[in-house]
Structure 1
Amino acid sequence: MTATQAFIAACANALGASHVLTDAHDTEPYLVDWRKRYRGEACAVLLPADTTQVAAIVRLAREHRIAIVPQGGNTGLVGGATPDASGAQAVISLKRLNRIRDVDTHNNTITVEAGVVLADIQARADGAQRLFPLSLAAEGSCTIGGNLSTNAGGTGVLRYGNTRELCLGLEVVTPQGEIWDGLRGLRKDNTGYDLRDLFIGAEGTLGIITAAVMKLHPAPVAEVTALAGLASPHAALDFLSLAQHHAGALLTGFELMSDFSMRLVGKHFPQLRYPFGEPHAQTVLLELSDSESAEHARALFERLMEEALEKGIVENAVVAENLAQSQAFWGLREHIPLAQAEEGLNIKHDIAVPISSIGRFIEETDAIIAKTVPGVRMVTFGHLGDGNLHYNVQAPEGVDAKRFLDEFQTPINALVYDQVHRHRGSISAEHGIGQLKVDEAMHYKSPVEVRLMQTIKAALDPDNLMNPGKVVRWNGTPAKENIA
């Protein structure tokens, strides 16, 4: 019996044979990433029921030297939860760890297992008259373990922060198969190294998150949404400053959408009507969450819009009159990726630059790319309030999209990432590194930063069995120099 066969047999004994999948038909959904960009192979897909079983699997993997790939809802965009093509790795799906363990309304926390779907946490919080503010397009299928592992952002980052800021404590299975119980719902704990932050954003390369204590917030009394048309991203930055001055912490959403983004949505989803009679170079969707009343929020919005129009910052604006109109405004934003998919293959970038640099970054980079590929169409949208842009490049009209990607993806990526680096930004803002961007991450990080990451990986996972090949390049030997 080979080591792999012995590992599979031991897992079947630990989990029950029905929770160890080896048949190709059964394993297929776990081997392909959401964008179908990556397809791997696995010796088995394992479905543990609780943290103790996860720890048992990890100990068996270490004993038999089997690399493991943790997986949540499999909605990631960078191949971080997809095994390699060797067929030697095992996928650990955490979808059976789907219990909400506790809701503490006095402490404003909810304790959840890693496989709980994000929308279910939102609903449970709402039932307790609380708000769990993490919100993103995949919330009906993504899981909180994946959100934590990639430090997901979403539309509420401006007010509430990334997933990291929403987490107070973790339960983690270490690479040695031990269980670290850090499920402390504390806002203050100054007793040494912050181990929690090591695992958030690590994409399962340092350990497997099995449960978390997450912050809840008071449910807002009213949410009011508006759209504004502007002449440039520079005007959008001025509008953001004005909105923050007027609304302060009530400003929970501030989304930037380019003219072509809106035209693309109108082309493929004509039922989502753009509310302005003429196009605008940029459209901003902003939302206020008010703890007082809808009337208070609308009055604040009206004062903000009046000043923005008087100063010439905003060209046109409309405030949602009801919930249906608010949902329609958000529909314009949320359908941009779907419209892109309908239009054809495109080159995607999930980047961040300092907020003050966004206008310059867009203008400079648009010009460089247009010179490189005349006629290219830019689909720029994102969370302006935290500097996160989805800076996507669509093929020129009439050009075969696949041929465009084959020819230009590598040089355009280099152009964009060089610009990001020049503006002291990040090549990944909320999607993670996975296997898609690991080489670029190693290239753009300083030698010191790379060595520090490799040192942490070597210290916690010396056998390099935890999701190898993701986030950081490391061959299992002590880091001595930058590998880029």
Structure 2
Amino acid sequence: MTIDPALLDRFAAIVGAAHALRQADDIAPYQEEPRGLFGGVTPLVLRPGSVDEVSRIMALASETGTPIVPQGGNTGLVGGQMPDENGEEIVLSLSRLNRIREIDTSSNTATVEAGVVLQVLQEAAAEKDRLFPLALGSQGSCQIGGNLSSNAGGVGALAYGTARDLCLGVEVVLPTGEVFDDLRKLKKDNTGYDLKDLFVGGEGTLGIITAAVVRLFPMPRGRELAWVALSSPEDALALFAMANDRAGGGLTAFELIERTPLAFTLAHVPGTSDPLAEAHPWYVMLEISSGRSAEDARASMEDLLTGAYEAGLVADAAIAQNETQAASFRHLRESMSEAQRPEGGSIKHDISVPVAAIPAFIARAGEAVQAVSPGCRVVCFGHMGDGNLHYNISQPVGADKRDYLALYRPMNDAVHAIVRDLGGSFSAEHGIGRMKRDELIATQPAIATDLMRRVKRAFDPAGIMNPGKVI
């Protein structure tokens, strides 16, 4: 079954021929996602340039029962932004809604449209001596609407929270075409249900975020970044406790990294170099920030590392001596996902557990994945400070990639069973999308699934809003 060409013409007329993509070459980038796991087919990509155009598109979609798939920067990893394979869903790209409407330094807020690229917002805030702390490896191409719809996390979540914590208000086009304007700057507002939080993290299943008010912070006067070598996750946990005690709110990043992902990055990412003279089994990349001065941040970092050396927690460490070196440390961490590609098939897990349970998880999961695929290589790194690890498993050396990837489900089952036993989550910051929908339904309490379905029916009774995702 295909969409009537006459109906496609009606949709195209809303945005104009130049912004209604129908040719295969033009549509192709919107049907492909970063990991190549979720194929999709669409007869039309709409690129509206205003909220009014989005509203008219959704009103027509509601009238005709046409499914709509919102898409931002197309960096999602669970298939939430992909149309299905039937060719009956229209992709709606938010990339032209890319204005920064306002930066308010008195309220410490920015009002931005959904298509604003994350890095563009970071740079615009910095020009006003403000920090927008959401930081992701894909920040050069991911967009604010997608960040909010997936409740993105990233390196800064330890100190500043996830995208949901950074959002004060939203503008949303509902499946009916109605516009919900809730672009408020208030940090305190107890007037009824917090409706915005249904859309933040909703993955476009309840409505389309077209703009948002997000929180900004005073730019730190000092930021010190260190690359620290340790012998075990237990030592990393002890270092984290010490960093919390000594730096408090000044601890703005704490990333745990196993040697394997660092080795992959050094081998496959040009221009990278090992921060330390010798190899070690585990590392932490940590950042301490100060609102007072660079000297204060440096003193806090030196005090922490001195204490850690004396306690026998740290084998070696390097403090970035300038911003160039700090950028090189960050680049190492941000390149670790991409560096796995040349090593063959990779089965990925985006999990979270209580911080205190991280060493136990790593020990138990290491045994479990070897039982599924003997000789597989654990590629563990992530945001230890908030309990979120990217626990990825690369294929054994010399294995057949197709055969290895056929183990995706049993590998997920083995890892996620440990996560559940430790009171964790199998989706920490990447969302549910298509990839994890069935597992969500199978493992969460039946009442939670029922409540989610009630919410979905209330907002989207026709079932046209990003169907087949989340629930």
With normalisation by structure 1, the TM-score equals 0.95
5+ long unaligned stretches in structure 2: none
User: Match of 1:463?
Assistant: 462
Please state how far the C-alpha of 1:270 moved relative to its aligned partner. Answer: 6.6
The 8 Å contact of residues 222 and 296 in structure 2, kept in 1 or not, is answered as no
The 8 Å contact of residues 345 and 405 in structure 2, kept in 1 or not, is answered as yes
Cα distance per residue 1:124-155 (max 9 Å; x no partner):
10111111111111111110000000000111
Aligned pair 1:78/2:41, yes or no? no
Spell out the pairing of 1:307-318 with structure 2 (5 A cutoff).
307-318=307-318
Separation in structure 1 between the aligned mates of residue 32 and residue 326 of structure 2, nearest angstrom = 35
Please state how far the C-alpha of 1:372 moved relative to its aligned partner. Answer: 3.1
Of stretches 416-425 and 180-189 in structure 1, the one that deviates more from structure 2 is 416-425
Separation in structure 1 between the aligned mates of residue 373 and residue 176 of structure 2, nearest angstrom = 50
Spell out the pairing of 1:3-82 with structure 2 (5 A cutoff).
4-82=4-82
Q: Which amino acid aligns with 2:452?
A: M
Of stretches 362-371 and 382-391 in structure 1, the one that deviates more from structure 2 is 362-371
The 8 Å contact of residues 229 and 282 in structure 2, kept in 1 or not, is answered as yes
Q: Which amino acid aligns with 1:441?
A: L
Please state how far the C-alpha of 1:4 moved relative to its aligned partner. Answer: 3.1
Spell out the pairing of 1:98-177 with structure 2 (5 A cutoff).
98-177=98-177
Separation in structure 2 between the aligned mates of residue 123 and residue 372 of structure 1, nearest angstrom = 45
The 8 Å contact of residues 4 and 43 in structure 1, kept in 2 or not, is answered as no
Q: Which amino acid aligns with 1:342?
A: P
* Structure 1 runs (4+) greater than 3 angstroms displaced: none
The 8 Å contact of residues 69 and 90 in structure 2, kept in 1 or not, is answered as yes
The 8 Å contact of residues 3 and 64 in structure 1, kept in 2 or not, is answered as no
CA RMSD of aligned residues (A): 1.3
Please state how far the C-alpha of 1:3 moved relative to its aligned partner. Answer: 6.3
User: Match of 2:443?
Assistant: 444
Q: Which amino acid aligns with 2:427?
A: S
User: Match of 1:234?
Assistant: 234
User: Match of 1:426?
Assistant: 425
Separation in structure 2 between the aligned mates of residue 375 and residue 47 of structure 1, nearest angstrom = 47
Separation in structure 2 between the aligned mates of residue 275 and residue 23 of structure 1, nearest angstrom = 47
5+ long unaligned stretches in structure 1: 473-484
User: Match of 1:89?
Assistant: 89
User: Match of 2:284?
Assistant: 284
Q: Which amino acid aligns with 1:375?
A: G
User: Match of 1:346?
Assistant: 346
User: Match of 1:480?
Assistant: none
Separation in structure 2 between the aligned mates of residue 10 and residue 272 of structure 1, nearest angstrom = 51
Q: Which amino acid aligns with 2:412?
A: N
Separation in structure 2 between the aligned mates of residue 170 and residue 4 of structure 1, nearest angstrom = 34
Spell out the pairing of 1:330-479 with structure 2 (5 A cutoff).
330-406=330-406, 408-472=407-471
The 8 Å contact of residues 380 and 390 in structure 1, kept in 2 or not, is answered as yes
Separation in structure 2 between the aligned mates of residue 320 and residue 3 of structure 1, nearest angstrom = 56
User: Match of 2:275?
Assistant: 275
Residue 88 of structure 1: SS of its match in structure 2? coil
User: Match of 2:299?
Assistant: 299
User: Aligned pair count?
Assistant: 470
Q: Which amino acid aligns with 1:137?
A: G
Cα distance per residue 1:39-88 (max 9 Å; x no partner):
21113111111111101000100111100000011111111111001111
The 8 Å contact of residues 227 and 317 in structure 2, kept in 1 or not, is answered as yes
Residue 337 of structure 2: SS of its match in structure 1? helix
The 8 Å contact of residues 372 and 410 in structure 2, kept in 1 or not, is answered as no
Please state how far the C-alpha of 1:427 moved relative to its aligned partner. Answer: 1.0
With normalisation by structure 2, the TM-score equals 0.97
Q: Describe the shift of the 1:175–1:268 C-alpha distance in structure 2 as closer, same or farther (beyond 3 A).
A: same
Aligned pair 1:208/2:208, yes or no? yes
Of stretches 429-438 and 14-23 in structure 1, the one that deviates more from structure 2 is 14-23
Spell out the pairing of 1:215-254 with structure 2 (5 A cutoff).
215-254=215-254
